[in-house]
Amino acid sequence: MSDKHLHGEQEHVSTTRRRKAIPLRMARGPQDYMPGQQEEPAVLTSLADMLHWAQNWARSRSIWPFMYALACCGFEMIVAGTVSVKMAPRLRHLWEQMPEPKWVISMGQCANSGGEFYDSYYTVQGVDSVVPVDVYVPGCPPRPEALIEGIFKLREKIEKQGYIPRNDQNLTLVAPKAGYAQGSSDVEEQTAQAGHTQEMLLNLGPQHPSTHGVLRLVLTLEGETVLDCTPVIGYLHRGIEKTLENRPYMGGIRYMDNADYLSPMLGEIAYAGAIEQLMELEPPRRAQYIRLLVGELQRIASHLIGIGAYVNDLGTTTPLLWSMRDREGVMDLFEALGGSRFNVNYVRVGGVLHDFPGGWLSHAKPTWIGWRRTWANWSCSSTATRSS
């Protein structure tokens, strides 16, 4: 082969490997932001544009989520869940304390628009009336994949649009007032009295409403002595009792999933059982067996969350991960049974929605077998904790 031929082949290879310059276009604001078009390049016409783009790119890749789980959506894994009238001022206060730059993801239909509590007297019809929202994640509750997609959408928005400072913190968006809520007047009076003594006023709670509970205790302390305790409730009240006045019996089953979102299936069974007693109905025996089986699965899933969270509060994180892993098996079974992981809406007055799908029981057996292995690990972990 001649030298000329070899030289020509080398030129051909270098030409094909040489990458074409990609033009870049910088988004100037929301009017230039088109979701789903992150593959389009941006045009940088100056050094300032390049620095601005680099800053936005770095911000989009270093999001630090601050979750505020309010109800069912908080367990699916950051405003997530129903925003009550009493919780809205606290949410607004936390948002104002967050350092700049900050963005908000609204997760779940209840946070987006009120969800099935759209006509409740005690829920906010959309969290965007309390804090500005950048990305909405639909679902009731959304699957974890939906939240991941929402985070990618926020990254895309930050990279293209950049950060626009919020100038309406005290003007446009005003959180609903809840001065009439139970216990508020007592708390104010207690605060005024404590200000004229050597006593200390301590707020115990509320933590994230959907995790460690919705109870707030206003304690009056003198040293280590608790002189007075005022419980403040209502941070997750959604007016279910009033909403059911405008729903048929069958329509109320769906709300039982939200009444206790750690045990939605058991809530449905209790609700349907009460109506059946009033109507003197007896479900078929197979339906009773199905209710018993799914109720026990729900009970185990609920206990896994409770035990895992309790051990996590004691300082051990691994058992919580084990419990969430084993709970996923129950969630997958419920999704195959009723189409939803959380709000299954499976039980009916007089029976259930339908029989077990084909192969459902065979898929449930590996979950039960896996629990035995996990419980052995739990026993070893608890023994090590006691010994330490």
SS3 category, 40: coil
Question: What is the spatial distance between Cα 115 and Cα 104, in angstroms, rounded to a whole number?
Answer: 18
**Residuewise pLDDT in 10s, the chain (388 residues):** 445 454 444 444 444 444 444 444 444 444 444 544 444 555 566 777 777 778 777 877 777 777 666 666 554 446 677 888 888 888 888 888 888 888 888 888 888 888 888 888 888 888 888 888 888 888 877 877 888 888 888 888 887 777 776 655 443 444 444 443 444 455 555 555 545 557 888 888 776 555 555 778 889 988 888 999 998 887 778 888 888 988 998 989 988 988 888 889 999 999 999 999 999 999 999 999 999 999 999 999 999 888 888 888 788 888 888 888 888 889 889 989 988 888 888 999 999 999 999 889 888 888 888 887 777 766 665 555 555 5
What is the chain's length? 388
Answer for the pair 204, 153: CB distance below 8 angstroms, yes or no: no
Report the CATH number of the 18-179 domain.
3.40.50.12280
| Helix axes of 47-60 and 144-161: crossing angle, nearest 10 degrees | 160
Q: Which sign, positive or negative, has the C-alpha torsion 157, 158, 162, 166?
A: positive
Q: Where are the domains of the chain?
A: 18-179, 184-232, 247-387
Q: Which residues contact 155 (CB under 8 A, 6 or more apart)?
A: 60, 61, 63
Query: Looking at domain 247-387, does it have CATH number 3.40.50.970?
Result: no
Secondary structure tally for the chain: helices H, strands E: 13, 9
Answer for the pair 231, 250: CB distance below 8 angstroms, yes or no: no
